[in-house]
Amino acid sequence: MEKMCVIGAGSWGSALALSLYKNGHDVHMWTRDVEQVEEINDTRENSKFLPGIIFPDDLIVSNHLEEVIKNSKIVVLAVPSQAVRSVCRQIKSFINNNQIIVDVAKGLEKGTGLRLSEVVKEELPYNPYVTLSGPSHAEEVSKFMPTTLVAACEDIKYAEEVQDAFMSPSLRVYTNPDIVGVELGGALKNIIAFGAGMCDGLGYGDNTKAALMTRGISEIGRLGVAMGANVNTFTGLAGIGDLIVTCTSMHSRNRRAGILMGQGKSLKETLEEVQMVVEGITATEVAYKVSRELNIDMPITEAIYSVLYKGANPNEAVLELMTRSKKHEMEETVNNGLFQN
């Protein structure tokens, strides 16, 4: 039995804590919310984030960060993407360099445009770092429904250690050395999922969603390759796999937020109703700015940005997408002279 800890007691952190516990590990989970600690310890339920799921009595929940991290082989960062840097700064005075950081947030840092591995490396440069991503909803993982994930790290040794820690009959984990692609796939699909929800809220059908998802993975790949990713990653679990699950499920807070805005609610009203962090909103702002800097064409991201940050009407944004100038589907192939008349 090895000690593992999970920093953050939201739905995803809780589901992963339960998965590690089921694998026989000594699991400790941290949250800064004292009332949440008391509720879980008293009732063994995290009612806000995972209602109906019972926590084992010996899965420790605490608000003492140093105690939770002490002697943990793996430290899972399950906090919102914009909180990753501040948490790393809190733990840097007492974390050991041999403890593996596993980040499960999916986003880009606002202001810097950095991927989360870059954020962590700035604050904790000596710790091994692995990204754990893929098509997964906490609500299903907590019920041990069959799920697949990807552990990404440039050093295969650490990816395999994380693979071993999480693998079970209900949770299959693959490894991937392309940490750039895995991180970007997880962050950027939230933008497309928000757009898919917006189309649902507008009353559009399956044709619209299929087009949005297909063209969405295309622009994710364009930006990803420009940022150093392997294009093949976007055809896998962290790319098209994560995109499918997030665009089609009501478990997806990004899709739910998009539905509400498509139905005419303001961004403020939407966030009040969802009551959870909607990573796609910040990811849209960051990706839009990065794509402009790199001169990468991302029309869907631009359309969603115009709705979120410029007050554009969702119907008008869709119309603009549909009436853009004519394009080849394989634009890069044509531009490279590989398509002949």
- Give the span between the Cα atoms of 239 and 111, in whole angstroms: 24
- Give the span between the Cα atoms of 208 and 47, in whole angstroms: 36
SS3 per residue for the chain? CCEEEEECCCHHHHHHHHHHHHCCCEEEEECCCHHHHHHHHHHCECCCCCCCCECCCCCEEECCHHHHHCCCCEEEECCCHHHHHHHHHHHCCCCCCCCEEEECCCCECCCCCCEHHHHHHHHCCCCCEEEEECCCCHHHHCCCCCEEEEEECCCHHHHHHHHHHHCECCEEEEEECCHHHHHHHHHHHHHHHHHHHHHHHCCCCHHHHHHHHHHHHHHHHHHHHHCCCCHHHHHCHHHHHHHHHHHHCCCCHHHHHHHHHHCCCCHHHHHHHHCCCCHHHHHHHHHHHHHHHHCCCCHHHHHHHHHHHCCCCHHHHHHHHHCCCCCCCCHHHHHCCCCCC
- Give the span between the Cα atoms of 130 and 338, in whole angstroms: 38
Choose among 151, 146, 171, 178: nearest CA to 162: 151
Token couple for 268:
């403020």
Catalytically annotated residues: 189
Amino acid at position 85, single letter:
R
